[in-house]
């Protein structure tokens, strides 16, 4: 039965939810206060990866002699880099707009508010949109820390970093998560002196420790300064027009100066939507909207997806949650399996994972967990690419050999992780991957070899 569906937020979760709702023959209205595509398309996934691509091309050109190619002079045209990044963003934003028209989704530009559990009002126009079901997809904002000097000039977030008119000579990045590491390497590869300061004992602290060690070593070898286990105390002027970050490490104060300081400590849900408190939409103790596996909030008829619910704050997770919410709103029973959402870091080498890390698997299954590893040094395609640092790790539970986790570090890891997700979605065992013929020479062969190594049958090691 057709319903009226209102979606608040036009990011990856919101616009995908709107399209799926339209496919199910619902009357759909999407309210967006900024640009379609949300943070991912405008200030996150797409622009950062566009900059990373330019940085990597520049880096490869400067190091082309390793492949027998001599380039007399290589220059970085940073305004042209920004122009290309902006063109890519514009194209994809326009693409989302086209999809809205194609699916007959009404888009309202303005700031939404919840009047009641069945009404969305738009502040700029005063319009009141009646809906049978409402999907909240407001996204997130850059997070900060209570650090003295955080609000002074020269301290920026990822939003400002994407639109710098010129590159700084030096940069201190506070935070060694995905955002911090991706910005660190792209800036370094464009010629910026970079220091990363991370509070936890390692960068990317939630990822597989063995994989993180490999990536950390490669980043340091490339020339990045990475300081872990350090607590930032304050940011102050350095007396030379830049900023100085004061941090505590092993009980002593240390300092690093730079032209700019980038706060990259993650993102927080955007809960500025008026009406959440009045309607009693429940929140977790970490200030995320609380939902069940069907994406339902505690208010009947209201669903929430994407960054506002916390969890895995990634665009593809939001997209899957959007489909899940809409199908449940339409009576199609669906549950969201967050365990199989891939996690990606677009560094060089790339890192990706899905399911359990080795530490999580050992906590759940003990020493009976089965582990297969294959190093990139033994892979022909990696040698051809000149990227032989890395590995693939496959974790299988002890009773049936079902794959419960996969981690990759190496070229094309963010693409290859899809094979692992499909396998785990089908509850495949490591034998299934081991028996699948993989093309040669490809990096994907490492998946087969790691699966073989679970039973110590790998061919090329």
Give the gyration radius of the chain's Cα atoms. 23
* Sign of torsion over alpha carbons 230, 233, 239, 240: positive
Phi, psi at residue 32, to the nearest 5°? -135, 125
The question of whether 440 is a catalytic residue gets the answer yes
What are the start-end ranges of the E strands in 250-402?
Answer: 252-258, 260-263, 267-269, 302-304, 343-345, 350-355, 370-375, 391-396
Partners of 407 in the beta sheet? 353, 393
Chain-centroid distance of CA 190 in Å reads 22
Choosing from 288, 412, 438, 440, the catalytic residue is 440
| Tokens coding 201 | 């004992």
Q: How far apart are CA 36 and CA 6, in angstroms?
A: 15
Q: How far apart are CA 452 and CA 144, in angstroms?
A: 45
CB atoms near residue 275 (< 10 Å)? 16
- The DSSP secondary structure of 408-430, one letter per residue, reads EEETTHHHHHHHHHHHHHTT-BH
Q: Tell me the catalytic residues.
A: 440
């Amino acid at each position: 039965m057709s319903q009226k569906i209102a979606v608040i937020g036009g990011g990856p979760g919101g616009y995908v939810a709107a399209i799926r709702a339209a496919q199910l023959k619902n009357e759909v209205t999407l309210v967006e206060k900024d640009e379609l595509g949300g943070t991912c398309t405008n200030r996150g996934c797409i622009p950062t990866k566009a900059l990373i691509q330019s940085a990597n091309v520049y880096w490869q050109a400067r190091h082309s002699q390793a492949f027998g190619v001599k380039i007399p002079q290589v220059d970085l045209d940073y305004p042209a880099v920004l122009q290309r990044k902006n063109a890519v963003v514009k194209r994809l934003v326009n693409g989302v707009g086209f999809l809205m028209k194609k699916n007959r989704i009404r888009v309202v530009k303005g700031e939404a508010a919840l009047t009641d559990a069945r009404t969305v009002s738009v502040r700029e126009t005063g319009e009141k949109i009646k809906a049978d079901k409402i999907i909240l997809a407001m996204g997130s904002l850059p997070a900060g820390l209570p650090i003295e000097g955080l609000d002074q000039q020269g301290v920026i977030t990822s939003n400002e970093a994407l639109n710098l008119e010129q590159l700084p000579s030096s940069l201190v990045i506070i935070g060694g998560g995905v955002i911090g590491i991706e910005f660190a390497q792209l800036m370094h590869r464009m010629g910026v002196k970079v220091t990363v300061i991370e509070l936890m004992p390692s960068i990317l602290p939630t990822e597989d420790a063995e994989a993180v060690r490999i990536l950390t070593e490669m980043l340091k070898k490339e020339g990045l300064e990475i300081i872990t286990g350090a607590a930032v105390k304050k940011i102050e002027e350095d007396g030379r027009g830049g900023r100085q970050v004061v941090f505590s490490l092993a009980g002593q104060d240390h300092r690093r100066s730079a032209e700019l300081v980038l706060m990259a400590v993650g993102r927080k849900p955007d809960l500025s939507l008026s009406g959440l408190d009045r309607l009693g939409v429940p929140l977790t103790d970490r200030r995320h909207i609380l939902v069940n596996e069907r994406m339902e909030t505690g208010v009947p008829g209201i669903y929430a997806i994407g960054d506002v619910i916390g969890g895995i704050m990634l665009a593809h997770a939001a997209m899957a949650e959007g489909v899940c919410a809409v199908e449940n709103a339409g009576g199609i029973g669906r549950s969201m399996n967050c365990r199989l959402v891939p996690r990606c870091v677009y560094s060089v080498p790339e890192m990706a994972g899905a399911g359990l890390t080795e530490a999580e698997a050992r906590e759940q299954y003990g020493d009976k967990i089965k582990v297969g590893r294959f190093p990139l040094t033994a892979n022909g395609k990696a040698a051809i690419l000149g990227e032989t640092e890395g590995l693939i790790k496959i974790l299988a539970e002890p009773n049936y050999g079902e794959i419960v986790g996969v981690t990759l570090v190496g070229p094309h890891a963010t693409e290859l992780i899809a094979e692992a997700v499909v396998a785990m979605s089908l509850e495949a065992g490591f034998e299934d991957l081991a028996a699948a013929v993989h093309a040669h020479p490809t990096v994907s062969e490492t998946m087969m070899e790691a699966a073989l190594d679970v039973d110590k049958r790998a061919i090329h090691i």
